Amino acid sequence: RKHLSNGNQVLLFLNRRGFAPVWFCPDCAWISKCRRCDAHMTLHQTDSRLRCHHCGSQRPAETTCPECTGTPQAVGMGTQRVEESIAKLFPDYALARIDRDSTRKRGSMEKLLSEIHEGKRDILVGTQMLTKGHHFPAVTLVGIIDADQGLFGTDPRSSERLAQLLVQVAGRAGRAEQPGEVLIQTHCPDHPLLNILIREGYGEFAEAALRERQAANWPPYASMALLRAESENEKLPQQFLAAALSLAGETPEISLLGPVPAPMARRAGRYRAQLLLLGARGPLQRFLRGWTEQLYALENARRVRWSLDVDPADLF
């Protein structure tokens, strides 16, 4: 309120669009799930529909629980819910929500940005697309909501991505001559990497993250490759990857982990699994050259969709 009273703008960041990420029955703990993915459906309040942010499927939100006929309720928070809550708390200030849903129409993004720069919007609510390449000189306060996403991910780069995102978002505050303030909401205020980032900056955070990776023999101290397979048949991806593992034989210079289901085992109606390979760059490259050619001859190679990702950007 202090920042708004001084004629400045406030930016609230939440990298989760929609109204709520979970549609939940408090009576029996039923959760609305996507029928094509291993994922929860996200409630979008504007049209009372549930949408899957992974495959795009959607349906009307259930008004009664299909398990016990109870009344489902929204759990968690997306940008639409933040917008609704802030509008009630600050009814005298104009809001702008910028995410993929609010900027679908041609010219809508440009219109919102123009209104922000003209001072017609006081509070900005948005996802990562609000922070990329935009200059908001009147923003003096940035609030980062639910900053814990990425602290405990299975991907070794998840904390790095979170740190980059926090630095990027925080950089929207005080970009002109006015000083900026950044508030971070977290359930883990004592997390060591988060504390290093806040108190000592990204450079020290990167050093700490590198020490963790070195201890675990993760990149950049080892090279990585990921063999992915997917099919509408639940068993075929695992069978193909098991055959690929047998084909590798004894490889003391290479560690093969798996096969295991992907973090999202079913997406858009297809079952997914993966086999992870770790080793020094030279030995891994030499191994992959011969091994990859042999994969094409495997029995299920034509019955699954497979790919080999060297130095994968993520393990999803």
What would the pLDDT profile of 181-207 be if each residue is shown by its tens digit? 889 898 888 888 888 988 999 999 999
- Identify whether residues 135 and 206 lie together within a single domain: yes
Co-location of 26 and 146 in the same domain: no
- Cα–Cα distance for residue pair 265/248, rounded to 1 Å: 24
Minimal CA–CA distance to 37: which of 264, 274, 306, 305?
264
User: What is the distance between the alpha carbons of residues 279 and 121, in angstroms, rounded to a whole number?
Assistant: 52
Residues 158 and 237 in one domain: no
Measured distance CA(179)–CA(188) in Å, rounded: 27
The DSSP 8-state label assigned to residue 20 in this structure reads: B
Whether 57 and 195 map to the same domain: the answer is: no
| Last residue within a domain, chosen from 221, 242, 261 | 221
Q: Does residue 193 share a domain with residue 263?
A: no
Indicate whether 126 and 199 sit together in one domain: yes
pLDDT for 143 beyond 70 = yes
Of 1-10, 90-99, 160-169, 170-179, minimum mean pLDDT range: 170-179
Q: 316 lies in a domain? A: no
Q: Are strands 95-98 and 254-267 parallel, antiparallel or unpaired?
A: unpaired
Total number of domains in the chain: 3
- pTM equals 0.84
> What is the pLDDT at residue 14?
92
User: For the CA atoms of 41, 45, 46, 47, what is the dihedral angle to 10 degrees?
Assistant: 60
User: Is it the case that residue 256 has pLDDT exceeding 80?
Assistant: yes
187 occurs within a structural domain: yes
Residue 126 lies in a domain: yes
pLDDT > 90: what percent of the chain?
A: 60
Q: How far is CA 25 from the centre of its chain?
A: 25
Give the pLDDT band of residue 175 (cuts 50, 70, 90): low
Residue 158 in tokens: 């998840």
More confident residue, 121 or 177: 121
Confidence of residue 148 (pLDDT cuts 50, 70, 90): confident
Q: Is residue 29 part of a domain?
A: yes
The pLDDT score that the predictor gives to residue 176 is 61
CA–CA separation, 104 vs 161, rounded Å? 26
Asked if residue 163 belongs to a domain, the reply is yes
Residue 119 falls within a domain, yes or no? yes
Q: Which of 77, 95, 110 is where one domain is finished?
A: 77
Q: Are residues 118 and 257 in the same domain?
A: no
Same domain, 4 and 153: yes
- Given 193, 221, 249, which residue is the final one in a domain? 221
- The whole domain housing 90 covers 1-17+79-221
Same domain, 249 and 203: no
The pLDDT of residue 276: 96
Find the Cα–Cα–Cα–Cα dihedral 261, 262, 267, 272, rounded to 10°: -60
State whether 128 and 204 are in the same domain: yes
Q: In this structure, what are the phi and psi dihedrals at residue 263, rounded to the nearest 5 degrees?
A: -50, -35
**What does pLDDT average to over the chain?**
90
Between residues 226 and 132, the one the model is more confident about: 226
Kindly state whether residues 241 and 161 are assigned to the same domain.
Answer: no
